[in-house]
Structure 1
Amino acid sequence: MKRREILKSGAAGIIASSSIGADVWRKSAEKMKILVTGAHPDDPETGCGGTIARYSQAGHDVTVLYLTRGEAGIPGTGHEEAAAIRTHEAEAACKILGAKPLFAGQVDGDTMVTNEWNKKIGSIIASEKPDIIFTQWPVDTHRDHRACALMVYDAWLYGGRKQAFYYYEVMTGSQTMNFNPTDYVDISGTIKRKWDACFVHESQKIRETYDQDHGKMEIFRGMEGGYQYAEAFVRLQQSKQGILPA
């Protein structure tokens, strides 16, 4: 067996362990609710935009919860103006991916992990009633990313561990660290939608550096999983098994 075939076979086994088969991705399958959380506008899109597109394409309901509006993300621009720009970009990106955007209300660069905020995130999760939760990997050089991961995990933990729980990566090597995937999703069929959604974030100049950062990871994870392009995830072993695109 060729190396690529071995890799693909191995990845299929991993994904099969957390799914009930490819039939769930047909539009006739029972509809699920997916909640994807991220610290800033563009984090969910770059980290798992292809997977979001696959869920929505299959007829499932996807909500993207942004912890902040990216207030500090445009150098030389005030928080209020930057928030307006980046909110518009996030809404446009979600429209492309087929997701509903929500904003938690924290401030970019000044995020807080408190009991009050843990409860607020928990309330949002409870109201959305997701079957699967995705959030950012907690070992990360960006404090907002860490805050998002911690609060979502806390809300899931004290909410009864009712959902399948997956972590995604963002700019591994410079932000995400020590990320060892358990699951891969083939995004070859939705990669163009992901790119379109990411490039909507013009204030971040993502198009200029995409190939060097996110693009390389899509190809690398694809090589690991045996696909042209893939996104990788870590499933929290204490959680229920989720249904990932096979």
Structure 2
Amino acid sequence: MLDALVVAPHPDDAELGVGGTIVRLMQQGWKVGILDLTSGEPTPLGSPEKRAEETAAATAELGSPWRKNLGLPNRSLEPTLEHRRAVAAVFRAVRPRLLFAPYWEDAHPDHVAATRLVEEARFWSKLSKSDIPGTPFHPARILYYFSVHLRIVERPSFVLDISDQLDAKVRALKCYRSQLVDNQPAGKPGVIDSVCDRTRFWGHMAGTLHAEPFASRETIGLTGLEHLLL
């Protein structure tokens, strides 16, 4: 039973978009999981074996959340009925109250497909009289994180302070050497630099050092204002 499940198109997307939040939630006692939909391979410097090793190391840096890879086709991820059923079965198995999905607008087709899969599998997960394994279950909410391939300024619904969790997020990102370290252009800012610049920007906007942005399609309800950063 999980409190929150991050669904990622590829290994490293969870760390890029929501890595600090994963660490923070686990430090607060939440049970958090990551569902990677594909292996992320092939890539220029990677291999399935190397990617699996990098993912295991990154998971440890995050605090060892529950993690599973569905093994769906990289570069050809589609919101098919078969894939929707597979994701819905995971939702029924781990029963998260909160889902994190990629932001719905992206240049990478896998990311757009992943978002549709999460939304559609969330609906299917609650259906009775179906052949989906497990007991019907409906995750209460989806929040969307930003790990996008577009040069845009995010338009979040809110941001979460990760000032104390940034170091763990960066350590996890550096575990993906084949994707985020060894393939970066010499003398220019790399992906990790860009991620830190963005967390610093959103932290500044919220009155703290670093923050991760999130969007929501649905109205967000609050029980109080005592935790708002001013």
TM-score by length of structure 2 reads 0.81
- 2:57 and 2:166 mapped to 1: Cα distance? 17
Q: Are 2:28 and 1:58 aligned?
A: yes
Matches within 5 A, 1:125-164: 125-160=91-126, 161-164=138-141
Q: Are 2:202 and 1:232 aligned?
A: no
Q: Bigger shift: 131-140 or 88-97?
A: 88-97
Residue identity in the other structure for 1:38: A
User: 1:188 is matched with which residue: 163, 174, 183?
Assistant: 163
3-state SS of paired residue (2:164): coil
Q: Where do 5+ consecutive residues of structure 1 fail to align? A: 1-30
Paired residues of 1:163 and 1:239 also in contact (CA < 8 A): no
Greater share of helix residues, 1 or 2?
A: 1
Q: Give the paired residue count.
A: 206
User: 1:72 is matched with which residue: 42, 49, 60?
Assistant: 42
Paired residues of 1:91 and 1:101 also in contact (CA < 8 A): no
Q: Where do 5+ consecutive residues of structure 2 fail to align? A: 127-137, 185-189
Residue in 1 that maps onto 2:143: 166
- 1:193 and 1:241 mapped to 2: Cα distance? 28
User: Could you say which structure has the greater relative contact order, defined with CA pairs below 8 angstroms and 6 or more residues apart?
Assistant: 1
User: 2:9 is matched with which residue: 33, 39, 51?
Assistant: 39
Residue in 1 that maps onto 2:69: 103
Change (3 A) 1:189 1:76: closer
Paired residues of 1:32 and 1:130 also in contact (CA < 8 A): yes
Residue in 2 that maps onto 1:87: 52
3-state SS of paired residue (1:152): helix
Residue in 1 that maps onto 2:135: none
TM-score by length of structure 1 reads 0.76
Shift of residue 220, structure 1, vs aligned partner: 1.2
Q: Are 2:179 and 1:204 aligned?
A: yes
Shift of residue 215, structure 1, vs aligned partner: 1.5
RMSD: 2.3
- 1:181 and 1:205 mapped to 2: Cα distance? 25
Identity of aligned residues (%): 27
3-state SS of paired residue (1:124): helix
